[in-house]
Amino acid sequence: MGEARTQLDTILSRYPTKQAALLPALWMLQDARGWVSDKGIEEIAALLAITPAYIKGVVSFYTMYHQHPVGRHFIQVCTTTPCNVCGAEDVVKSFLEHTGCGDLGLTSADGRFTVIEVECLGACGFATPVMINNDFIESVTPESVPRILAELK
């Protein structure tokens, strides 16, 4: 906990209250463990003097926090109307097929991939946009999916 505690203390020094540092603290937790568990919520609650129920409300409100384990490569495909018109559903199908996930929200048997649909990644002019972890990829087609997956370490 040494390095993480030092990082959290640095974050806390930037905010007027401990509660104000909740979102970055949740990011730290998710980055370290891959998701935000109930145990993690309790740990943050104790450190920030916030109730676990309050934190659970925040975690369940924001879609960027994972409330269950996900694959090492978390793949988000935009399926908002403009992207759907440009073939987003076929991109989703291609990711599901080539990752072995089988269905949205499931993790592949090897633990490498989880694929979900999201509403608007803010790149309607570059359909179909995809986020893989923190990397943004524009103009993804079903045909480009195998190459994209092959480039992931």
Query: Structure tokens of 27?
Result: 């990011």
- Cα(35)–Cα(10) distance, integer angstroms: 22
Residue 120 is assigned to a ligand binding site: yes
Residue 101 is assigned to a ligand binding site: no
Amino acid symbol at 152: L
Query: Structure tokens of 151?
Result: 């480039």
Displacement of CA 115 from its chain's centroid (Å): 10
What's the per-residue H, E or C state across 37-102? CHHHHHHHHHHHCCCHHHHHHHHHHCCCCCCCCCCCEEEEEECCHHHHHCCHHHHHHHHHHHHCCC
Closest CA to 80 of 49, 122, 114, 17: 122
Residues annotated within a binding site: 78, 83, 120, 124
Residues annotated within a binding site for [2Fe-2S] cluster: 78, 83, 120, 124
